[in-house]
Amino acid sequence: MGEAVELEAGGRTVRLSSPDKVYFPERGFTKLDLARYYLAVGPGILRALRDRPTTLERYPEGVAGESFFQKRAPGNRPDWIPTAHITFPSGRSADEMCPTEAAAVLWAAQYGTFTFHPWPVRRADVDHPDELRIDLDPQPGTDYADAVRAARELREVLHEYGGLRGWPKTSGGRGLHVFVPIRPDWTFTQVRRAAIAVARELERRMPDQVTSAWWKEERGSRIFVDYNQTARDRTIASAYSVRPRPHAPVSAPLTWEEVGDAVPDDFDLATMPARFAALGDVHADMDDHAFSLEALLELAFRDEHDHGLGDLPYPPEYPKMPGEPKRVQPSRARKTAG
C-alpha cells in the first residue's frame, strides 16, 4: 500500500501510513486523498472543530468496511492535541479530543476518520452550548428540494424570534443543517427547548411540509425537524466532514443565496478543495456572532402555557427527563389503552 508519507500542517509533521489504501472504491479515493482533502480545507474544518469535544467516526478499512464511533480520546494521540472531560446522559464520562490546529485533523485521518462530530460546546465550558443546531431531515417521499423550502421559512422564523441568523450547510445527504451561534448562557435542556419551539413554529407555518413528530409513524412525507440533535451527547457532522457514502460526499457550508441552487452531490472529496481555494470558508464569520435565545424560550413558554405544548420525547437511550411525555409509540399506546 505504498511507503509512509509525511504531510505538513501548521508547522507540524503528520505521518501517514499505507497512503495508497483505497477508502472509496467507487471513486478510487485513497487514504492519502482523504488526508490531502483535509489539508486543503484545513482552515474551514478547524473553524468548525476548534476547542470542541469531538467524536471520530472511523472507517479503518474504507467505506465498505466496519466502522465505529470513537468518543474517548485515543491513548496514542500526540501531546499537542488537548482533551475535554464531558459527561454523557448515562452519567458516565470521558475525555474527548478537542482539535486546536489543522494537524489534529490530519492525525485523525491517519486512523481512518471520515467524519468529525463536534459537540456544540467549547472545552472551557462543556455544559453550556454555544450553537443552536437545526437538522432538517427529509423523510421518505421528500428530498433536498423539500428541505430547501423548509430552510427558507426557517430563516424567517429565526429572524422574527430574536433577530437570529443561521448558517446553512448540506448534510452530505439529502438534508440541510442550519447552525446559529449563541451565547453560552443556557443549558442543553434549554437549548433543546428552543429547538422544539423552532420546530413547532415551522410546523405551524408549513403543516403539510414540516413535522416535529418524534415517532416515524406520525411524520408522513414531511421534513422532520430533529430537535433531539440538540440533546446532550447528540452531535451533527461538522462542516467539511467527509460522509461515509460510496461517492465521498462532504457536508458543504453554503451561503443563503446558494441554498436553492445547490445540488448536494456537487460537493465531494474531489470538488470541495477547488471551491475552498476559490471562496474560502463561507462560514468564516460565524464566530464573530453570539445570539440570544430569549425570544425562542419565550415562544416555548407560550406554547406550553397557552397551548399545552410541553416537552417532547427524548431518544430511547436517555434517562427519563422531568416533564417528558411517555416514550410510547402512539399506535402501541392505543392498543394498550384498548
235-284, pLDDT tens digit by residue?
A: 999 999 999 999 999 999 999 999 999 999 999 999 999 999 999 999 99
Average pLDDT, the chain: 96
Q: With helix as H, strand as E and coil as C, how does the chain read?
A: CCCCEEEEECCEEEEECCCCCEEECCCCEEHHHHHHHHHHCHHHHHHHHCCCCEEEEECCCCCCCCCEEECCCCCCCCCCCCEEEEECCCCCEEEEECCCCHHHHHHHHHCCEEEEEECCCECCECCCCCEEEEEEEECCCCCHHHHHHHHHHHHHHHHHCCCCCCEEEECCCCCEEEEEEECCCCCHHHHHHHHHHHHHHHHHHCCCCEECCCCHHHCCCCEEECHHHHCCCCCCCCCCCECCCCCCEECCECCHHHHCCCCHHHCECCCHHHHHHHHCCCCCCHHHCCECCHHHHHHHHHHHHHHCCCCCCCCCCCCCCCCCCCCCCHHHHHHHHC
- CB neighbours of 271 closer than 8 A, spacing ≥ 6? none
In this predicted structure, the answer to whether residue 79 has a pLDDT above a threshold of 90 is yes
% of the chain residues with pLDDT over 70: 98
**What pLDDT is stored for residue 338 in this prediction?**
56
Question: What is d(CA 167, CA 177) in angstroms, rounded to the nearest whole number?
Answer: 8
**What pLDDT is stored for residue 2 in this prediction?**
76
102-110 helix and 31-40 helix, angle to the nearest 10 degrees: 170
**What pLDDT is stored for residue 326 in this prediction?**
87
C-alpha distances in angstroms, 3 versus 6, 20, 113? 10, 9, 20
Q: How many residues comprise the chain?
A: 338
Cell numbers given for 137: 431531515
- Give mean pLDDT, residues 40-54: 98
- Give mean pLDDT, residues 40-61: 98
271-294, pLDDT tens digit by residue?
A: 999 999 999 999 999 999 999 999
Residue 331 falls in which region: left (phi positive, over 0), alpha (psi -120 to 50) or beta: alpha
87-117, pLDDT tens digit by residue?
A: 999 999 999 999 999 999 999 999 999 999 9
In this predicted structure, the answer to whether residue 337 has a pLDDT above a threshold of 70 is no
**Backbone φ, ψ for residue 92 (5° rounding):** -75, 165
Predicted confidence band of residue 335 (pLDDT cuts 50, 70, 90): low
